[in-house]
């Protein structure tokens, strides 16, 4: 619940690449609108990171960005990254690095349809955010027969798996409380331990241990899905799922795929969450094909503003953001081209601001 005393929050703004430079200003507009309708006040600091920053300065994540976030900011918004699909010497993803530097160990990605949708969807994918194949420890070498071999380390730890498990079960309880006593919270552990018995096996065992060792989770139903069957069931029966918890790679793939259930990646938000800090981040990429055209869908970023506020403890302000977005989408007067409409980024933002 928001404090009765006016609170000023300092927010780092990191546009990144491509349409990140168009949607992050939209996020700032939403926060400025909230400052006029709630007891919250916001100040902002512009920060750099991304492939364009790398090309200009030789580093994708300047040390100044990390230090300002640590020392001056209460939360942050991150836009998008244009990470190349081929190796570029000296470059690595700044958002992956930022998650590790700030120990933002959970990536929380709600996927929700609006009222009246043909396929009702209301689930959250909780993705471990710091390890798995994203430790980025790879090497290429020449085999005895003269051919190239590339290999990567997949690292799973009990500590990281336990932390992400706790987030998942706490979210399930929170969602159940909001929906009322007639709903049973459900956590689905997703893994591939039938093949990767040690790495995914440890993830599965660690999350299950969180469940069985804490009496507070007795009201939660806990199930498991092998990741390939999870994909099938997610698209066949999306309404079945509540909270899905997964290692880094599976969570990334599942959440992007689940966006198709609600119409567009442009609708799906996320929050990178640690103990005491959160970075809101839309799930979409930098979309160079539409960069500069003024048609990027800002809804994922606006919802990410709500998620950031929610994890900062400002649940009333977050609820205002969610309600304004839902009302805009239900009315359908200002829909961006990815949703079949003709509205530009500015029109969509202005409509949500009016509803705030």
DSSP 177-193: HHH-TTPPPEEEEEE-T
* Catalytic entry in 154, 166, 256, 346: 256
pLDDT at 264: 85
Catalytic residue check, 228? yes
- pLDDT score of 251: 95
Q: What letters, b where the CB count within 10 A reaches 16 and e where it falls short, cover 302-330?
A: bbbbbbbbbbbebbebbebbbebbbebbe
Is 122 among the catalytic positions? Answer: no
Q: What is the DSSP string of 32-92?
A: HHHHHHSSEEEEEEE---SHHHHHHHS-SS-HHHHHHHHHH-SEEEEEE----SS--TT--
Concerning whether 334 is annotated as a catalytic residue, the answer is no
Catalytic hit among 17, 242, 252, 338: 252
φ, ψ of residue 352 in degrees (nearest 5): -65, -40
CB atoms within 10 A of CB 109: 26
From first to last of the 356 residues of the chain, give the pLDDT tens digit.
444 567 899 999 999 999 999 999 999 999 999 999 899 999 999 999 999 999 999 999 999 999 999 999 999 999 999 888 778 888 988 998 999 999 999 999 999 988 777 888 999 999 999 999 988 899 999 999 999 999 999 999 999 999 999 999 999 999 998 877 667 999 999 999 999 999 999 999 999 999 999 999 999 999 999 999 999 999 999 999 999 999 999 999 998 889 889 888 899 999 999 998 999 999 999 999 999 999 999 999 999 999 999 999 999 999 999 999 999 999 999 999 999 999 999 999 999 999 99
> Nearest CA to 270 among 156, 142, 116, 104?
104
Catalytic residue among 74, 112, 192, 211: 192
Rg value, the chain, Cα:
20
Choosing from 103, 136, 228, 232, the catalytic residue is 228
pLDDT of the residue at 4: 55
Angle of CA points 23, 342, 331, to nearest 5°: 85
Pick the catalytic residue: 74, 112, 132, 134? 134
């Amino acid at each position: 619940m928001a404090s009765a005393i006016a609170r000023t929050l300092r927010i780092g703004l990191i546009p990144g690449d491509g349409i990140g430079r168009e949607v992050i200003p939209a996020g700032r507009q939403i926060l400025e609108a909230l400052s006029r309708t709630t007891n919250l006040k916001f100040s902002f600091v512009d920060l750099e990171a991304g492939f364009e920053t790398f090309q200009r300065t030789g580093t994708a994540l300047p040390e100044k960005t990390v230090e300002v976030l640590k020392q001056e900011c209460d939360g942050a918004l991150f836009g998008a990254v244009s990470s190349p699909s081929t190796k570029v010497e000296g470059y690595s993803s700044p958002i992956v690095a930022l998650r590790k530097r700030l120990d933002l160990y959970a990536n929380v990605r709600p996927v929700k349809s609006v009222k009246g949708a043909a396929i009702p969807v209301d689930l959250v994918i909780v993705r471990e955010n710091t390890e798995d194949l994203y430790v980025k420890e790879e090497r290429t070498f020449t085999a005895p027969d003269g051919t190239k071999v590339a290999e990567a380390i997949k690292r799973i730890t009990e500590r990281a798996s336990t932390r992400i498990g706790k987030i998942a079960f706490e979210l399930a309880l929170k969602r159940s409380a909001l929906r009322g006593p007639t709903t049973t919270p459900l956590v689905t552990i997703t893994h591939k331990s039938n093949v990767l018995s040690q790495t995914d096996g440890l993830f599965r065992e660690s999350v299950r241990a969180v469940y069985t060792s804490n009496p507070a989770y007795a009201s939660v139903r806990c199930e498991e899905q092998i990741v390939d069957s999870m994909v099938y069931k997610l698209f066949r029966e999306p309404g079945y799922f509540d909270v899905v918890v997964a290692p880094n790679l599976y969570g990334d793939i599942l959440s992007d795929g689940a966006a198709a259930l609600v119409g567009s990646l442009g609708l799906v938000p996320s929050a990178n969450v640690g103990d005491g800090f959160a970075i809101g981040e839309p799930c979409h990429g930098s979309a160079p094909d539409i960069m500069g055209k003024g048609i990027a869908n800002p809804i994922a970023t606006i919802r990410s503003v709500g998620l950031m506020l929610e994890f900062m403890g400002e649940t009333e302000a977050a609820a205002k953001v969610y309600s304004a977005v839902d009302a805009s989408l239900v009315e359908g007067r200002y829909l961006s081209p990815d949703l079949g409409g003709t509205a530009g980024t500015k029109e969509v933002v202005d409509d949500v601001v009016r509803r705030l």
